[in-house]
Chain A
Amino acid sequence: MVRAADYAIEAHGLVKKFGDFTAVDGIDLMIEQGSIFGFLGPNGAGKTTTVRMLATLLKPDGGNATVFGYDVSTETKEVRQRISLTGQYASIDEELSGIENLVMIARLMGYARKDARKRAEELLAAFGLTEAAKKQVKNYSGGMRRRLDIAASIVVTPDLLFLDEPTTGLDPRSRNQVWDVVRALTKAGTTVLLTTQYLEEADQLADRIAVINKGKIIAEGTASELKSSVGTGMLHVRLVNSSDREKAETVLSKRLGTVIYESSRDSELRTKVENASVATQALADLEQAGVMVAEFSLGQPSLDEVFLALTAE
Chain B
Amino acid sequence: MNKRDVIDNQQLHAALTTNKRPTPPNPLNAVFTFAWRALLKVKHQPEQLLDVAALPILFLLMFTYLFGGAIAGSTKEYLQFILPGILVQTVTQITMYTGMELNKDIQKGFFDRQRTLPIWLPSSLIGALLVDSLRYIIASTVMVSFALILGFRPQGGIIGVGLAVALLIIFCFSLSWIWNTLALIMRSEQTLMMTSMMVIFPLTFLSSAFVDPSTMPRFLEGFVKINPISLLVDAVRGLMHGIASGQDVLWVLLSSAILIVIFAPLTMYLYRNKK
Chain A residues in 8 Å Cβ range of B37: 93, 96, 100, 104
Least Cβ–Cβ distance between A27 and chain B, in angstroms: 18
Q: Looking across the interface, which residue of chain A has its beta carbon closest to that of B113?
A: A91
Interface residue tally for chain A (C-beta within 8 Å): 58
Report the stretch among B38-46, B59-67, B221-229 that lies at the interface: B38-46
* Among B5, B40, B117, contact of A109 (Cβ-Cβ < 8 Å): B117
A91/B110 in contact, CB under 8 A = yes
Least Cβ–Cβ distance between A58 and chain B, in angstroms: 6
B22/A108 in contact, CB under 8 A = no
Chain A residues in 8 Å Cβ range of B19: 119, 155-157
Name the interface residues of A90-121: CB closer than 8 Å to any CB of B.
90-97, 100, 104-105, 107-112, 115, 119
A87/B119 in contact, CB under 8 A = no
A184/B13 in contact, CB under 8 A = yes
* Among B22, B25, B108, B110, contact of A156 (Cβ-Cβ < 8 Å): B22
Report the stretch among B28-36, B74-82, B165-173 that lies at the interface: B28-36
B23 an interface residue at 8 Å Cβ cutoff? yes
Interface residue tally for chain B (C-beta within 8 Å): 43
Once the chains are docked, how many angstroms separate the CA of A197 from the CA of B82? 62
Least Cβ–Cβ distance between A140 and chain B, in angstroms: 12
B25/A110 in contact, CB under 8 A = yes
Least Cβ–Cβ distance between A98 and chain B, in angstroms: 12
A108/B25 in contact, CB under 8 A = yes
A100/B40 in contact, CB under 8 A = yes
A236 an interface residue at 8 Å Cβ cutoff? no
B212 an interface residue at 8 Å Cβ cutoff? no
A311 an interface residue at 8 Å Cβ cutoff? no
Chain A residues in 8 Å Cβ range of B108: 89-91, 93-94
Least Cβ–Cβ distance between B144 and chain A, in angstroms: 31
Chain B residues in 8 Å Cβ range of A85: 112-113, 116
Chain B residues in 8 Å Cβ range of A94: 108
B22/A126 in contact, CB under 8 A = no
B-side interface residues toward A, CB under 8 Å? 2, 4-9, 11-17, 19, 21-25, 29-30, 33, 36-37, 40-41, 44-45, 105, 108-113, 115-119, 273, 275
Given A95-B45, A147-B7, 5 other A-B residues pairs in contact with their CB atoms under 8 A: A57-B115, A81-B118, A90-B109, A100-B40, A108-B119
CB-CB nearest 10 A-B residue pairs: A110-B22, A188-B16, A126-B11, A91-B113, A126-B12, A89-B109, A91-B109, A107-B33, A126-B15, A110-B24
- Can you give 17 contacting A-B residue pairs, CB < 8 Å? A52-B112, A57-B115, A90-B108, A91-B112, A91-B113, A93-B108, A94-B108, A100-B40, A110-B21, A119-B19, A131-B2, A157-B17, A157-B19, A177-B6, A180-B9, A184-B9, A185-B16
A-side interface residues toward B, CB under 8 Å? 18, 52, 55-59, 77, 80-81, 83-85, 87-97, 100, 104-105, 107-112, 115, 119, 122-123, 125-128, 130-131, 136, 147, 152, 154-157, 177, 180-181, 184-185, 187-188, 190
